[in-house]
Structure 1
């Protein structure tokens, strides 16, 4: 599972395109990504349009949301028909749990300390189905992939995983896991919120059944705007809500009184109601266009190079540990302080305008394209003073 940075020219800092003061070292994209100025402007323009709703035509309920659908499809090597627009990971996983078969005696596999939105739906489905819910303990060697592959067998019904662990960036080889799932007929459901947009992802190689990504972190989009990939074999499933725009011929507003049993093509039937949000959709579109313009492979190479250097320096200068580089997503870094991160450390950092977050036993240092070398120097200066 060698995560070498792709052979890409590294990106210069994009700081000028974000509203981040020079004296702020924001190293916390795993918590919430700041929207680029251009996305904020697009969202504000969309909000202003609502001041004069007579200028919003029926076609406007479709154009921007369809554009966003197609842009996200590019990120994962899918088609627009494979993508639904959802407000959250929990919504997308609820769709998956509503569709996927699970039988008494089968198992559902998740990871210890996995983000709850990809855990709770499967706990409830396992209870309802008489299935066994399995949580894989954190491996001492950080090899999540090996532990998952050991647990997948003929009894496995669903494997629900992230691309990388949200506490420290521990990486999973989803290509290998996807192949193991297909071998035993298990479904693979992925929460890619902590990697989407900055780490290459190919649904053709991984072949997940469902993939969900919240858009407000690494995708630099607005809150309550996310994306659901649905494999073609599940696209005739029952959605968890019945809204007008998901039905066939919903473009014809005058004909909405002629109720249809058929849906819009592909995964559109799983769209959340009021998916055409005139403030959020333009902002999400602008951020996706921006990231696609930079190129995921180039973003990943840039962030991996930076994080590898931070990790090596933290080990040499502060004696801190991390997940070893070949078992960690390159864009993600969790600094380990032994048994626990000092309770007052995040507050001390924030008081000096250095922003990180603590999850589990790791302090997440998660830069993005807007960070500079000055941010990293500020991080180490404050850490050395605080420890």
Structure 2
């Protein structure tokens, strides 16, 4: 692993903008935007689009997505959102009446509503895990997994405070009790190394517009081998064997393509989004996820100390994602703190009584200096 030098030159971020909001929306590189423009421009002359073009982008991108999470290519499906991916997972998980579905307190809504609906339709019980005392969030979750657990659904990183879940330990305990394990990696994939083979989840959902720096409405699903003969949400034509022969599409087939391809969304061949997404994923892979993680860990270790010194206390590194800082604000912090920072070109999020500060490789020392200086000023005033 190595520390990556600053990559701001790849982005269109003005010098007077300090952007610490990757967890809300990661900026795209100029190269990814150009790739998207070129892809969209194909629709200017639809007669130039070949039948093979409907398959070429996904054929290139599917193995790249697999590399991101150390998975096999056959396990990857294209989805437009995490909610779509989780709905697919829910449609392929069997629960008995009275079994428990475990979720975390303050989990992202898309990763709660789907399990509420599944609990209602199956008679399962939805149980929310809260952190108690000095125990970590992972410890609290692990303590609740047992013989009556049918499903654990959580994120690798909790979006509100950056709390880190020990997904390898959770995966092992789920296997010990025969429980399904569904993971949302939206707030970690691309910035925190994840190995599917070690964790062995049933399903993984990822949105591409945050830490993967891709366009909105892009993402992917991973399905474990035992689920790859499952039921897709849609019955679309392009996931069937023989779909590339346009002249014979009326020779209807009940056979799907390889692996998790059956779960691909309809109209997956998006000529604008897929080239931009591919460009973004290639950039992440060129950097190396482990290198991104190490670089952000190093930068955040320094920034957290500086934030602590001005009265905003960050969780210990062992309890948070290395790419995520969510310091606790003092009671005296102004309600419009983020608006004041925004007025000076400094962009962060606020989640409850915490700031959410999520830098990336485009963040430079000038940005962090401005953030600490102005934050200290507004907290004093």
Task: Give the Cα–Cα distance (whole angstroms) in 1 for the partners of residues 252 and 155 of structure 2.
Answer: 39
Aligned equivalent of 1:114: 107
Cα deviations across residues 243-293 of structure 1 (Å, max 9, x unaligned)?
Answer: 111111111111111111111110000001000100000000000001100
Task: Give the Cα–Cα distance (whole angstroms) in 1 for the partners of residues 44 and 131 of structure 2.
Answer: 52
Provide the TM-score with structure 1 as the length reference: 0.96
Task: Give the Cα–Cα distance (whole angstroms) in 2 for the partners of residues 359 and 279 of structure 1.
Answer: 33
The within-5 A match list for 1:260-339 is 260-316=253-309, 318-338=310-330
Are the counterparts in 1 of residues 76 and 221 from structure 2 also a CA contact under 8 Å? yes
Task: Give the Cα–Cα distance (whole angstroms) in 2 for the partners of residues 332 and 30 of structure 1.
Answer: 8
The DSSP-based 3-state class of the residue aligned with 1:259 is coil
Shift in Å, 1:360: 3.1
Equivalent pairs counted in the alignment come to 379
Q: Return closer, same or farther for 1:351/1:181 CA change in 2, 3 Å cut-off.
A: same
Q: Return closer, same or farther for 1:250/1:376 CA change in 2, 3 Å cut-off.
A: same
Task: Give the Cα–Cα distance (whole angstroms) in 2 for the partners of residues 53 and 142 of structure 1.
Answer: 59
Aligned equivalent of 2:353: 361
Are the counterparts in 1 of residues 311 and 330 from structure 2 also a CA contact under 8 Å? no
Task: Give the Cα–Cα distance (whole angstroms) in 1 for the partners of residues 142 and 135 of structure 2.
Answer: 14
Provide the TM-score with structure 2 as the length reference: 0.98
Structure 1 gaps of 5+ residues are: 1-7
Q: Return closer, same or farther for 1:338/1:155 CA change in 2, 3 Å cut-off.
A: farther
The within-5 A match list for 1:13-28 is 13-28=6-21
Shift in Å, 1:379: 0.4
Are the counterparts in 1 of residues 156 and 188 from structure 2 also a CA contact under 8 Å? yes
Aligned CA RMSD, in angstroms, stands at 1.1
319-328 or 206-215, larger mean C-alpha shift: 319-328
Give runs of ≥4 in structure 1 deviating > 3 Å: 138-142, 338-342
The DSSP-based 3-state class of the residue aligned with 1:109 is strand
Are the counterparts in 2 of residues 341 and 361 from structure 1 also a CA contact under 8 Å? no
Aligned equivalent of 2:95: 102
Shift in Å, 1:141: 3.4
The DSSP-based 3-state class of the residue aligned with 1:99 is coil
Shift in Å, 1:335: 1.2
Are the counterparts in 2 of residues 337 and 362 from structure 1 also a CA contact under 8 Å? yes
Aligned equivalent of 1:4: none
Aligned equivalent of 1:344: 336
The within-5 A match list for 1:60-75 is 60-75=53-68
Aligned equivalent of 1:377: 369
Asked whether 1:130 is paired with 2:123, we answer: yes
Are the counterparts in 2 of residues 142 and 327 from structure 1 also a CA contact under 8 Å? no
Q: 2:24 aligns with which of 28, 31, 40?
A: 31
Aligned equivalent of 2:176: 183
Q: Return closer, same or farther for 1:340/1:107 CA change in 2, 3 Å cut-off.
A: farther
Task: Give the Cα–Cα distance (whole angstroms) in 2 for the partners of residues 60 and 343 of structure 1.
Answer: 51
Q: 1:239 aligns with which of 209, 232, 252?
A: 232
Aligned equivalent of 1:163: 156
Are the counterparts in 2 of residues 162 and 191 from structure 1 also a CA contact under 8 Å? yes
Q: 2:146 aligns with which of 143, 148, 153?
A: 153
Aligned equivalent of 1:256: 249
